[in-house]
Amino acid sequence: MKPATLALNALTVALMAGPALAVEDSDGKLLLDARWRLESVADDAFVQDAFADTVRIRLGYQTPVRSGWSGVIEAEATQHLFSEDFNSTANGQVQFPTVVDPDNTELNQAYVRFAPGTKTQFSLGRQRVQWDNQRFFGNVGWRQNEQTFDALDIQHSFGNGTKLRYGYLDRAQRINGADNPNEDLARYRLNTHLLGAGHALGPGTLSGYAHFIENETLPLSSHRNLGLRYTARKDAPDGIGWLVSAEYAKQDSYADGAGKIDADYVLLEGGLVWKAGTFKAGWEQLGGDGSYGFATPFATLHAFNGWADKFLNTPASGLNDAYLGWNRKFGKLGAALVWHDFSSDAGSIHYGQEWDASLSWALDKKWTVLGKLADYQADEYLADTTKLWLSVEYVY
């Protein structure tokens, strides 16, 4: 069933559900996000280092809300400045390490939204898709060209703390850019259904999800995820607070997916919150048996398993990531420090270790400056890699 039919059925269900709270009209809004960034990559697998100097501009408009209806249209353009000493995946500069920020101009978002009340909304069109912590589906906001989807999204909240969500994904506009000469890098054609349910439980939320991912562009990669997640947090302004997360998912073959697709995902994380600082310790496992590793191809991957991005594709022997992290606000400054130890799920392979650090400065509500470092020290997987970033971003 395609998005137009799904949207009609969803709207019919909403109108039959009974009276809803009125949604007040609002003013329209200009959407403007501009970011300049320097990125350098020293990867021992390459003779030459990469150096990318790029700028990204998103410009759009969000309409006023009228009787629950609204819409967004947004264009996005990315352009390198000066030399092009990096492999953008579209420029053919394969002698350099990869920095996936290709020159590109595309329609980033174009969707309509209907909210018959404060508890329900329907969105149809090209849009950001972000589920939970973006471990499975996200917009990859770190890269200059973000990931968006041609999708239908339905969300409803009940008064008892229960939330339901359904998503249909027809196409993924990937970070490699619509102008990429390789069609498989530019976009995926999908026939994907996402189901999610969450309920408040104690100080946190217990949620379950089911992803039925049919990738028509790469049919052998089609798979299903079934999972449970629990997250909780308790703040103590005058003392020590805490946070905890636990998650398990099972991944197996779906539609025309390869028979070897069979792996588990496990996350255990805990932390303490004191004043403006957070300390975390965690362990994440993406299972693998030597022939297949648990895959998350639509995730905001930069947020997981180290900022050096050495594990964007899970090794066939799987991945264990044990990590310690700290972050804190100092007025307008924000600092973070993370350490990772990487090993395999099968075969007792020690991949390596990584240190990540960042410092951000919010000049005001619209301007932000960021400096960032990732240092991956290889043991038995890939090569030593150091990445440095400096960026300035303006959000209107």
- The CATH number of residue 356's host domain is 2.40.160.10
- In this predicted structure, the answer to whether residue 24 has a pLDDT above a threshold of 80 is no
Look-up of token digits 């030593």 = 384
pLDDT band of residue 42 (cuts 50, 70, 90) is very high
Using alpha carbons, select from 94, 95, 90 the residue that is nearest to residue 185: 90
For residue 214, tell me if it sits in a domain. Answer: yes
Rounded (to 5) percent helix, strand, coil in the chain: 5, 55, 35
Mean pLDDT of 344-353: 97
Q: Is residue 379 part of a domain?
A: yes
Is 24 a domain residue?
Answer: no
Q: Does residue 23 lie within any of the structural domains?
A: no
Determine the Cα–Cα distance for residues 285 and 248; give it in Å rounded to an integer: 10
pLDDT above 60 (res 207): yes
Domain count, the chain: 1
pLDDT tens, 242-301? 999 999 999 999 999 999 999 999 999 999 999 889 999 999 999 999 999 999 999 999
Range of the domain at 253: 3-18+31-395
207, 229 in Cβ contact below 8 A? yes
**Residue showing tokens 């329209």:** 28
156 belongs to a structural domain: yes
Q: Does residue 164 form part of some domain?
A: yes
Average pLDDT of the chain, as a whole number: 93
The backbone torsions φ and ψ at residue 11, rounded to the nearest 5 degrees and listed phi first, read: -65, -40
Would residue 25 count as lying in a domain?
no
Q: How far apart are the C-alpha atoms of 340 and 374, rounded to whole Å?
A: 11
pTM: 0.92
In a domain, 136, yes or no: yes
